[in-house]
Amino acid sequence: MRHLAHTLCFFLLTATCSWAQSGTSVETVRTEDGSAMRVSGRASGMYEGSASEQAMAYYRQGVREHQRGDLAAAMRSYNKALKEDPKFIEAYDNLGQVYRQAGQYDDAIKCYNKSLKLYPEGEMARMNLAVVHSIKGDLASAKKDYQALVKYHPESAEGYFGLANVQMQQKQFDEALVNAEKALAIYQRTDDPHLPDGYHMVGLIHYYAGRTDEARTYLQRARERGAKIHPDVTKAVFSTPAPTTGTTTATGEQSDEATQAVEWFDWLYNTPVGTEPDKRKKVNADLIVWITNTSLVTVEIKEKIVPYMDQAECLVIYLGAYAKYVLRNTNNVVEANQYATTHVLDFYEKNRDALGPNKGAEKLLKLRKEGKLEAYIKANS
């Protein structure tokens, strides 16, 4: 499959400023290799501002100049504000954006780093620093920026989305899919207006990974919600007829049934244990009943692969992930076990405090840390 990384407009949902205004700002920027990248983000209010009235006056003047597109004047005003108050976080954030828009990327990076030195948890600076690194083609740094963002802000859909985007460009499709699904789950849970982009991203990852049928499912959902799909992707995905037999790519009841099962699993995997306990109990039960009765998936549980049978939540995650892999890919037992085990261990690590320690899961985590998990699963599948 032809890779379109340099012709496709990747969508990064990142905040672009810290102006105290409502709505979403959207712009298209060019990376250093010439490819286009849409940067869209929601503005936020100020952190604490400045105790200096003069610094605040220069800052407000800079905001007005920035909003009307006078970048040179905005630079002067924000710099004056910082001269009055060298610890003015918002001024660094906004000056960084002005420098980025002016193509002065190194200056923008300096501003964001100064902001983060003052306030390491700064969400705006983290996101914007990742954008600048992406524009410069420094994906390794952008990846670290997004990882830090989700560390400080575990409910940041934009952080997971941006991380998935970087990993997709690095062809780390399995890792990208995990983070894209996290972003999508948050968009679904919060009824976020960027939900179409969430479906779009998941679909693109499947597309680049060569999973056309899976890509079709998510890109169709994105398209139905108004997302624009690149013409090359549209031609490759939608001009190929979906199979009329099989599992999730079949039409009618089988397709609806499989889609519902995957959505149950995604919700269970992405929702922290302890959140909405009544709903979790119901979804757990629904998924188990479906797996037990469906003719679409057969899961053979082996004790060496699933040594955490006493941990019900992890077991359901294993069953759901296994089913999802078979439904969306092929009935390859080794690959399905690899996929399911990876998801169980990630789920266990995120929810260890709520679940409590489990010897079986800890054993598999140790094997993964030692780089032996893949061989272990292959030998015991």
Q: What is the CATH number of the domain that holds 196?
A: 1.25.40.10
Domain identity same for 121 and 148: yes
Domain assignment present for residue 1? The answer is no
Domain identity same for 139 and 284: no
Beta pairing partners, 11: 38
Specify whether the CB–CB gap between 232 and 218 falls below 8 A.
no
Domain assignment present for residue 5? The answer is no
Distance CA 182, CA 178 (A): 6
Domain identity same for 129 and 213: yes
Q: Give the model's pLDDT for residue 11.
A: 31
Domain assignment present for residue 122? The answer is yes
Distance CA 122, CA 264 (A): 33
Let me know how long the chain is. Answer: 381
Domain assignment present for residue 126? The answer is yes
Q: What is the DSSP letter of 13?
A: E
Specify whether the CB–CB gap between 181 and 212 falls below 8 A.
no
Alpha helices in 38-172 (DSSP H): 53-67, 71-84, 89-101, 105-118, 123-135, 139-152, 157-169
Distance CA 198, CA 191 (A): 11
Domain identity same for 311 and 207: no
Burial of 288 (0-12, 13-18, 19+ CB in 10 A): middle
Domain identity same for 202 and 277: no
Domain assignment present for residue 28? The answer is yes
Measured CA to CA in angstroms, residue 170 lies from 37, 38, 163, 332 at distances of 16, 18, 11, 25
Domain end position, chosen among 206, 238, 270: 238
Specify whether the CB–CB gap between 65 and 73 falls below 8 A.
yes
Domain identity same for 214 and 340: no
Range of the domain at 314: 253-380
Specify whether the CB–CB gap between 354 and 328 falls below 8 A.
no
Domain end position, chosen among 177, 203, 238: 238
28 by DSSP, 3-state: which?
Answer: strand
Distance CA 253, CA 220 (A): 18
Domain end position, chosen among 174, 207, 238: 238
Domain identity same for 207 and 270: no
Domain assignment present for residue 4? The answer is no
Work out how many domains the chain is built from and give that number.
2
**Ordered mean pLDDT values, 10 residues apiece, the chain (381 residues):** 29 30 40 45 55 93 91 95 94 92 92 94 91 88 94 91 91 92 89 89 91 89 86 82 42 65 91 89 87 81 89 92 85 88 93 92 92 90 84
Q: Give the model's pLDDT for residue 285.
A: 86
Domain assignment present for residue 248? The answer is no
Distance CA 171, CA 181 (A): 16
Specify whether the CB–CB gap between 99 and 111 falls below 8 A.
yes
Locate 277 and state its tokens. Answer: 């306990």
Domain assignment present for residue 265? The answer is yes
Distance CA 160, CA 22 (A): 23
Q: Give the model's pLDDT for residue 255.
A: 62
153 by DSSP, 3-state: which?
Answer: coil
Domain identity same for 231 and 312: no
Domain identity same for 227 and 323: no
Specify whether the CB–CB gap between 36 and 9 falls below 8 A.
yes
The candidate with the shortest Cα–Cα distance to 82, out of 46, 117, 58, is: 58
Q: Give the model's pLDDT for residue 240.
A: 55
Distance CA 363, CA 370 (A): 11
Locate 260 and state its tokens. Answer: 């519902």
Domain identity same for 304 and 220: no
Locate 201 and state its tokens. Answer: 């991203």
Domain identity same for 203 and 273: no
Burial of 292 (0-12, 13-18, 19+ CB in 10 A): exposed
Count CB atoms within 10 A of the CB of residue 280: 18
Domain identity same for 215 and 151: yes
Locate 178 and state its tokens. Answer: 């995990």
